[in-house]
Structure 1
Amino acid sequence: MINKQILQHRQKQDKGGTRFFVTLALLLSLTVFILAMNSTRSDSEVHPPIASLDDRMIEPQSEMMGPLSAMGGALSELVEPQMEMAVPLSEGQSSHAPEQSDDTTLALTQPVQPSLTDEFVEPVTDITYTYTIKTGDTFSHILEENGHYDVMRQLIVGNAELGPFNALVAGRKMTFTQNDGVLSEINYQISPLQSYKISYQEDGGYRVNEERLEVEQLETHATVEIVDSLYLSAKRVGLSDKLIIAITNIMEWDIDFAYDVRKGDHFSVIYYENYVGNEKIDEGPILALRFTNRNEDYRIVRYTDSKGNTDYYFLDGKKVRKAFLRNPLEFAYISSRFNPRRMHPVLHKVRAHNGVDYAARRGTPVRAAGDGRVSLRQYYSGYGNTVILHHGGGYSTLYAHLSKFADRQRVGSWVKQGQVIGYVGSTGLSTGPHLHYEFRVNGVHKNPLTVKLPDAVPLAKSELPRFNEHIKATVEKLHLLDDAYIASKNPRQP
């Protein structure tokens, strides 16, 4: 009996000791939790989030909650009210608690960002729009179409000098700027360097002003060796289309670029580049050109004579420009050569081919080879649509198989060298679009590719001393480019 009482007493002592240790552990865990809460609160006060304090959420991590939850129901009642501080789930967010990391620090949720739509947006008062000029447009029509015909009346009343606004060019652009509902400016761009502006004045009228950008010209040069075509080889070293066309225009009296150019030909060019500030606008004129074609050298310089006339000359003072172009098309290839005994592709019998056929796309412009008068302009048997020009001195040229004739020309019209007289086609006895071109001297057919073309008038003898002095420095630069090219082709062996 006594032993039983002793055993019951010891069991009571054990239970009392267990409750003591449980209570102590509970108090210690609660102290750690409160300290952690205070630490987080002080951190958020030093670095407050953008959202209001009411929106902040403290989310205890699993490792912190693990020991606390082990303390039993009493501790759970103390912790669960803290969990009620969580903000509602955002759209699409899972209601399941995410997997917790091993980090024991307390995490803050992302702050709520203010909506962009809440910011004040300043109303737009300036409106700018661009109109592309079409064929047949007039300035008054453009103003009316864009709702500004009243501006035209004010310009007329103010006797404004409209100048280029009365001679619009299709494809160019006109920019309108409105401010607070009033048309404040019209900008008509003539070129990258020149524009005309109509500006609104304080008195309610409009004024026309011309604007020109100040251009700085810097001299530069390039050397090109032809490895495939002139165009591709020149593009490979960075020459622009504009510069390539300028080179072919200078040389077209002596070189047929559809026939004469060969791999290994090369040229050096000295020219200007135009800059506005630090921005390159385009290329200026070519100052000098040396072209080697089939081992024949052409050295050409640009010169303005004492009367102000500018042209290109060979170093002996003869003009590069001749009475006739070698090729009436700017870009084409030869599909059939001059041949007195050619088999005709349509008639299938031997028939003299008294000209050269240049294959080109339908509609390619055909140029007059020289100054002359139109003597025939009609459908001409197997030639189809044909133009014949008489140039004086016994020279005449024929252009056949045209798709159509140029506008505003007729028999008796005078045309200048390079002027468009028609367009490539396939009328008459033809198997496809091409130009058939004939060159005649006193009625006799000559090979257009090899006939010696008459020279243009050279410089007067009295002008030669001035010419030689003027070109001296430019010629020296050409020599230096020649030496550099030769050195690049023959490097010294170590």
Structure 2
Amino acid sequence: MDREIAAGKEPSPPDPGKGRRRRNGVLLIAGILLVGLGFGAYLWILLGRSPKAPQEAIQSLETKEVVPVEREGSVEEAPSRMIEGEIGRRSTLVKALSAKHVPPPWIELIVSKLKPLVNLRKIKGGRFRSTWDKDGSLIRFELELAPTEVYEVRRDSKGYGAAKEKISLDVRLVTVKGEIRSSLFEAMEAVGEQDCLTMAFADILAWEIDFYKDVQPGDRFALLVEKLYKGDRFVQYGTIQAVEYQRGEKILRGIRYGDAYYNEEGLSLKKAFLKVPLRFTRVSSRFSRGRPHPILGGVRPHLGVDYAAPTGTPVWAVADGTVVYCGWNEGFGKQVILRHRNGYMSYYGHLSRYGRGIKVGKSVRQKEVIGYVGSTGLSTGPHLDYRLAKAGVFRNPLSEVFPKGSPIGKAEWEPFQKRRDEIIAALHGENVSPEKPK
């Protein structure tokens, strides 16, 4: 008031409610404090201890047992687990196990146990699986390099030992049938079979059928083959017990007896000459006595057959014989010439390289590799120029008729007949399970 008078201001009139408001505010604050203290005391009594920090309070609401989270490849954290993986073709067992975080001491133990059984440096791919106990110790390790090649490291009361497992395979005799639309490969694939079976089928009939020339849409085939299973898993093909190829009313059959194949009359399918000098590939040009030469132009006689195939494809000797030429022969490039019985000569041109040990004077057997497909000399691409001559006159290899195969022995004729009838019945779906000949 003195300041207001000194400033020349009129003093403000007294506020009769001001004192009451101040007293009410003090009472309100006191009440809040009392309520807070009471609530705190309640919590103290309820929990029986001092209030926890926020993180502790959250943890107290979680379950008491906490299961560790497993990391890929960990063997220490899990109470019991399996570790499995694959070994790449350019990898090693050690690298594959390290990638799964298997501790080095255990890798060393596994390798040391397997070393006496298998050369781990030379393995090319595979798979492994292992089981571990809750303490992270190895119980069992299995290395599979092939369906029939499996190694095991196992713990027993004496420690760890290793051994090669004895694999028991289930052999099933299966009939495979199909019809050719475009090629034998596609027809076999259409019924769920692999290329290796197609190749084996064609090899059996290599003396009877040229699968480059003779295959036509509508032809039918059948074979009786062993399939090997490990449980429900298909492992590989076994022996082909019979083959059949049909065009119209003409049927060609091959029955396995002993270690060879015979037709129904008991004549061996194997003859002195193969129909073709290499495994199943496509033909780029067939025999023709008048065709435009692809490089020199004009019409020049082509006294043979060109078999188009990738560079490096093995070339077979079509029959037993002797090498009479091995070297560069102008337009034919690298060439091998063989002399055979009964005045036959066979010629193989445009080779990329020669077979191992092939030189003039060497004796060769039928289906022996004498060279590899190439494009040397006058050639527009990789292919084999195959020619056949008899008594100095070139013949058409695709239509040449060769002597029949040797007959089965007289003593084996009756057992063969029985075997033949059983096989043909099984081939056509009758409930017959032919036994293998002794």
Scaled to the shorter chain, the TM-score interval is 0.5 to 0.7
For residues 411-459 of structure 1, the C-alpha deviation after alignment (integer angstroms, 9 at most, x for no partner) is 4555443343333221101122211011233443221101122334321
User: For residue 280 of structure 2, what is the aligned residue in structure 1?
Assistant: 331
User: Secondary structure of 1:234's match?
Assistant: helix
Alpha-carbon distance between aligned partners in 1 of 2:337 and 2:127, rounded to the nearest angstrom: 41
Give runs of aligned pairs for residues 279-290 of structure 1, distance below 5 A: 279-290=233-244
Given candidates 234, 243, 257, the residue that maps to 2:188 is 234
| Richer in helix (by share) | 1
Note if 1:187 corresponds to 2:143: yes
User: For residue 87 of structure 2, what is the aligned residue in structure 1?
Assistant: 131
Describe the shift of the 1:175–1:477 C-alpha distance in structure 2 as closer, same or farther (beyond 3 A).
closer
CA deviation after TM superposition for structure 1 residue 469, in Å: 1.8
Describe the shift of the 1:469–1:330 C-alpha distance in structure 2 as closer, same or farther (beyond 3 A).
same
Give runs of aligned pairs for residues 481-492 of structure 1, distance below 5 A: none
For residues 259-306 of structure 1, the C-alpha deviation after alignment (integer angstroms, 9 at most, x for no partner) is 1111222223333333333444344333222212365321221222xx
- Judge conservation of contact 1:262–1:294 (CA < 8 Å) in 2: no
Alpha-carbon distance between aligned partners in 2 of 1:209 and 1:170, rounded to the nearest angstrom: 15
- Judge conservation of contact 1:224–1:234 (CA < 8 Å) in 2: yes
Alpha-carbon distance between aligned partners in 2 of 1:288 and 1:151, rounded to the nearest angstrom: 45
Describe the shift of the 1:409–1:428 C-alpha distance in structure 2 as closer, same or farther (beyond 3 A).
same
Give runs of aligned pairs for residues 135-154 of structure 1, distance below 5 A: none
- Judge conservation of contact 1:403–1:427 (CA < 8 Å) in 2: yes
Alpha-carbon distance between aligned partners in 2 of 1:283 and 1:378, rounded to the nearest angstrom: 40
Alpha-carbon distance between aligned partners in 1 of 2:236 and 2:113, rounded to the nearest angstrom: 37
User: Secondary structure of 1:291's match?
Assistant: strand
Give runs of aligned pairs for residues 427-446 of structure 1, distance below 5 A: 427-446=376-395
- Judge conservation of contact 2:123–2:145 (CA < 8 Å) in 1: no
Counterpart AA for 1:213: S
> Comparing 378-387 with 274-283, which one deviates more in the overlay?
274-283
User: Secondary structure of 1:260's match?
Assistant: coil
User: Secondary structure of 2:302's match?
Assistant: coil
- Judge conservation of contact 1:291–1:298 (CA < 8 Å) in 2: yes
For residues 206-252 of structure 1, the C-alpha deviation after alignment (integer angstroms, 9 at most, x for no partner) is 543242123132x3324322232222233333333333222212222
User: Secondary structure of 2:348's match?
Assistant: strand
> Comparing 317-326 with 229-238, which one deviates more in the overlay?
229-238
User: For residue 424 of structure 1, what is the aligned residue in structure 2?
Assistant: 373
CA deviation after TM superposition for structure 1 residue 383, in Å: 0.6
Counterpart AA for 1:463: E
- Judge conservation of contact 1:381–1:428 (CA < 8 Å) in 2: yes
User: For residue 256 of structure 2, what is the aligned residue in structure 1?
Assistant: 302
User: For residue 213 of structure 1, what is the aligned residue in structure 2?
Assistant: 168
Counterpart AA for 2:316: R
CA deviation after TM superposition for structure 1 residue 464, in Å: 0.7
Give runs of aligned pairs for residues 3-402 of structure 1, distance below 5 A: 119-121=67-69, 124-125=74-75, 128-132=84-88, 160=116, 162=117, 165=118, 171-173=124-126, 175=128, 185=141, 187-190=143-146, 192=147, 194-197=148-151, 199=153, 206-217=161-172, 219-293=173-247, 295-304=249-258, 310-402=259-351
TM value normalised by structure 1: 0.60
User: Secondary structure of 2:69's match?
Assistant: coil
Counterpart AA for 1:396: M
For residues 142-178 of structure 1, the C-alpha deviation after alignment (integer angstroms, 9 at most, x for no partner) is 99xx98788777778xxx4x4xx35987744364869
Given candidates 463, 466, 469, the residue that maps to 2:412 is 463
TM value normalised by structure 2: 0.67
User: For residue 60 of structure 1, what is the aligned residue in structure 2?
Assistant: none
Counterpart AA for 1:229: S
CA deviation after TM superposition for structure 1 residue 402, in Å: 1.7
User: Secondary structure of 1:233's match?
Assistant: helix
CA deviation after TM superposition for structure 1 residue 114, in Å: 7.2
- Judge conservation of contact 1:385–1:401 (CA < 8 Å) in 2: yes
User: Secondary structure of 1:431's match?
Assistant: coil
Alpha-carbon distance between aligned partners in 1 of 2:353 and 2:332, rounded to the nearest angstrom: 13
User: Secondary structure of 2:371's match?
Assistant: strand
Number of residue pairs the alignment of both structures matches? 352
For residues 74-133 of structure 1, the C-alpha deviation after alignment (integer angstroms, 9 at most, x for no partner) is xxxxxxxxxxxxxxxxxxxxxxxxxxxxxxxxxxxxxxx979xx6423673265554345
Segments ≥4 residues shifted beyond 6 Å: 137-143, 146-156, 167-170, 181-184
Alpha-carbon distance between aligned partners in 1 of 2:364 and 2:204, rounded to the nearest angstrom: 20
Q: RMSD across aligned C-alpha pairs, in angstroms? A: 4.0
For residues 179-229 of structure 1, the C-alpha deviation after alignment (integer angstroms, 9 at most, x for no partner) is 658796462524x2x114153666567543242123132x33243222322
Alpha-carbon distance between aligned partners in 2 of 1:168 and 1:391, rounded to the nearest angstrom: 45
Percent identity over paired residues: 34
Structure 2 runs not aligned, ≥5 long: 1-60, 76-81, 431-438
Counterpart AA for 1:462: A
- Judge conservation of contact 1:201–1:207 (CA < 8 Å) in 2: no
Alpha-carbon distance between aligned partners in 2 of 1:396 and 1:409, rounded to the nearest angstrom: 16
